[in-house]
Amino acid sequence: MIDAGGDVACYADKAFLWHFDRRWFAPADAIAPVRTSLGTIGAMVCADGRIPTIGRALVDAGAELLVMPTAWVTTGRDPDALENVQADLLARVRARENGVPFVAANKSGVERGCVAYCGKSQIVSASGEVLAIAPERAPAIIASEVEIGAAPAARVSIPSPPARVVAPTIERIAIAMADDAPVEAALATIEATQLVAPDAPARFEPLDQAIPAAVLDDASVADPGVGVAYRRAGYRLLIWDCRAFDSAWIVPFARARALELRAFVVVQDRAGNRTFAVDPDGVVVAGTFDGLRVASFVYDGARTEVTLVAPGTDVALGLERVASLVAETPAS
C-alpha cells in the first residue's frame, strides 16, 4: 500500500493461496493491519476473502477498513451473469460481520483465452450495503464515500468445543418448526432418519450421535470465528437457532457460513416461522413455506470432507493455517 505522501505504507502477503498461485508464491506468515493517513487499513488479497477469520483478525487488530485487490474469476456458466461467490455474496457479509467498510478492485475481461474475470469491483458500507459496483465486462472507475472509525461489530468468545470424529454418513433429515401431528404424519412419508425441530421428540435424539452437529445462536453465527471453531473440531452440521436476526441477512449469512466452512447449515427462523437447509456449496436445498410444514434434505457427510475448492486450494488446511497466524496477531 502506498500512502498519500507517496511512501510505501506496507506490503501485505496473501494468506490463502488459490490454484496456480502456488507456482510463484508462498503464503503469508503474518496477518496485521497498517496505519495510514486515511486510517488503519486491513489489506486482503483475493481468496483471503473466503477465509472468515482473516478479516476478523485484521479488524480485531484495529483495521477500520478492509481493502482487497483481487482477481475474481468466473466460469461463464451463465454468460449473461458472470458469477463469483465473493463478488455476489461474501464481500457484503465480510463487511457486515466485521462492522467496517469493504473495498475490492477486481479485473474484467479474459486472459490467455482460459481465465475469465467477473468484474464487479465494489465499495461496501460497514452495514453490508453495496454503495458502488462496476460492470461485469468493462473497465470502470467507481467511487463512494464511506464512514470509517465507527465501533466494529460485537464479538463473542470463541468456543473450544470437544473434538468430534464420526464416519461420514448419508441421512435423510427432516426439518420443521414444530413437533405436532402433521410432522408425525409427514415423517412416515419422508422416511427421515433424523428430525431437526425446536423441540424434536426424544425418539429422534440425539442427532449428534449420528452426525457431528452443533446449535448456534444469533451472536455466534454473526461472529465469523465461531463456526470456524466448530469446523476445526469436527462438526459438520450447524443448526442456527435464529431468534432476532435481521431478516434480510438470514439467508446470506447461512449461505456464507455453509460454503466457507464446507458444512451443512439448518436455519430455524423463529420470527419468520420458517426453516431451511443449506449445503456445503452455499445452496439452499430445502425449506418450509406456506402449507409445506415439513421439508427434508439429504445430509451426505462425504461432501463436507471435500474441502478442495480449486486444485491445490484446501479450505480445511487454510482454516488451520490461518488459525495459527491469528493466534500470533495482537488485538488492538
Domain ranges of the chain: 19-153, 170-308
Let me know if the fold of 19-153 is the same as that of 170-308. yes
Return the closest-CA partner of residue 50 out of 81, 24, 21, 8: 21
Long-range Cβ contact pairs of 274-280 (< 8 A, separation 24 or more)? 274/177, 275/175, 275/176, 275/177, 275/196, 275/197, 276/175, 276/251, 277/173, 277/175, 278/254, 279/303, 280/304, 280/306
Walk along the chain (332 residues) and give the pLDDT tens digit of each residue. Answer: 999 989 998 888 999 999 989 999 999 999 999 999 989 999 999 999 999 999 999 999 999 999 999 999 999 899 999 999 999 999 999 999 999 999 999 999 999 999 999 999 999 999 999 999 999 999 999 999 999 988 889 999 999 999 998 888 999 999 998 766 677 778 788 888 888 988 665 444 456 677 899 999 999 999 999 999 999 999 999 999 999 999 999 999 999 999 999 999 999 999 999 999 999 999 999 999 998 989 999 999 999 999 999 999 999 999 999 999 998 777 76
pLDDT digits (tens, 9 = 90+) for 203-256: 444 566 778 999 999 999 999 999 999 999 999 999 999 999 999 999 999 999
Superfamily name and number for 170-308:
Carbon-nitrogen hydrolase (3.60.110.10)
Angle between helices 315-327 and 52-60 (to 10 degrees): 10
- What's the pTM? 0.95
Give me the pLDDT at residue 203, please. Answer: 44
Cβ(235)–Cβ(212) under 8 Å?
yes
What residues have CB less than 8 Å from 286, skipping those under 6 apart? 175, 276, 277, 295, 296, 297
Hey, which CATH number is domain 19-153, 2.60.40.10, 3.60.110.10, 1.10.3720.10, 3.40.50.150?
3.60.110.10
